[in-house]
Structure 1
Amino acid sequence: MSQLLELQVVAVVLAGTLATIAIWSPRKALIKASAVVVSIGFMPVAYAGMADLLSKPKPIRLEWYQSQAEKALVLGAQLRENDGVYLWLQLDGTAEPRYYKLPWDQELAKELQQAMKEAEKTQSGLAMTLPFEKSWDKDQPRFYALPQPKLPEKGGEPGDRPMQYKHPGMNA
């Protein structure tokens, strides 16, 4: 959503530029008016199209801005046989998660399911390596469970003491 306004401003500027060119061109008035109306009609259609795409998964092959990402945290996944692998990924350096679709691959789906079971068993997160690279190396898993989080120290802080309940009638 952060780039929607900027992209809409660019679309409006481009449409305005085209309308200006159409107005100053040596054409008949009807053609000039038609070009201006089409340019004005383009602006809300472009906004509606961009806003509609916000909730849809982006095919992973179309990612170019974050294509060099080394790893991503998998926040959610859905497998649809013969359709695709839908992933909700938190990429390093991005404020909000992104929704992607990978093409269906039986081996990748098995690998994802295995990593999800392992992450659930260890109560840890799930991550993915090289999310936007088509890797031919089948030896290295793309999905893996994160290491189990470190447990807090037993002793705690030196000043920490167990909580003691004192009944209101016990002032001594």
Structure 2
Amino acid sequence: MTAVTGLFIVALGLAAMLSSISIWAPRRLSTKVAALGTACLFLPVAYLSFVNLLSKPKPVDLEWWQQHVEEVDVLGSQIREEEGIFLYIQMPDVSEPRSYVLPWNRDLAEQLQAAMREAEQNGGGLRMRLPFEPSLDDREPKFYALPQPMLPPKDQLPDAPPAQQFDRPGTEA
């Protein structure tokens, strides 16, 4: 069951309770029918709004359940001047990546671009510190490039053939 299905079931239950209350209330029949019709129209509107929200980036201010996350991997980004900084991030312990939008901040956008350039030069990834905390501490950058990955030791390469020694002909004594 997805989050949309769960939220829709909750909305369905609430609409059913409201409809039940309106049906059993001492009102005219036309009022009861109007209440029941409104509840029936509410259900498809609720479902379509839930499904529509799936494709939209979530503002970081509205993240409540994952706000304790210390660091995330930045998989992609798009900067739109005066509009926002759109991020596609992977959180630890969450199986699927998520899309978020940060409010527009020129310093943060420049920081992101510098970290992206450094990550590209190093061949490493890009990370973000405290993605859901509106921090006023600007001593540490929010975005940073991961260091270049270390190469494996040459003597521990998997399934490596043994080293061959070459002796030049005519050097036997």
TM-score (norm 2): 0.89
Q: Structure 1 residue runs of 4+, over 6 Å off? A: none
Provide, for residues 114-135 of structure 1, a one-character-per-residue CA deviation record: whole Å limited to 9, x for no partner.
Answer: 0000000001000000001111
CA–CA separation in structure 1 for the residues paired with 2:4 and 2:147: 36
Change (3 A) 1:80 1:37: same
SS in 2 for 1:26: coil
Q: Which residue of 2 aligns with 1:58?
A: 58
Gapped regions of structure 2 (runs ≥ 5): 163-173
Gapped regions of structure 1 (runs ≥ 5): 163-172
Q: Is 1:131 matched up with 2:131?
A: yes
Q: Cα offset for 1:159? A: 5.2
- RMSD of the alignment, in Å? 1.5
CA–CA separation in structure 2 for the residues paired with 1:138 and 1:84: 19
Identity fraction in percent: 48
Q: Which residue of 1 aligns with 2:155?
A: 155
Q: Which residue of 1 aligns with 2:114?
A: 114
The alignment of Structure 1 onto Structure 2 pairs a total of residues equal to 162
Q: Which residue of 1 aligns with 2:6?
A: 6
Larger radius of gyration: 2
TM-score (norm 1): 0.89
Change (3 A) 1:15 1:104: same
Change (3 A) 1:74 1:158: closer
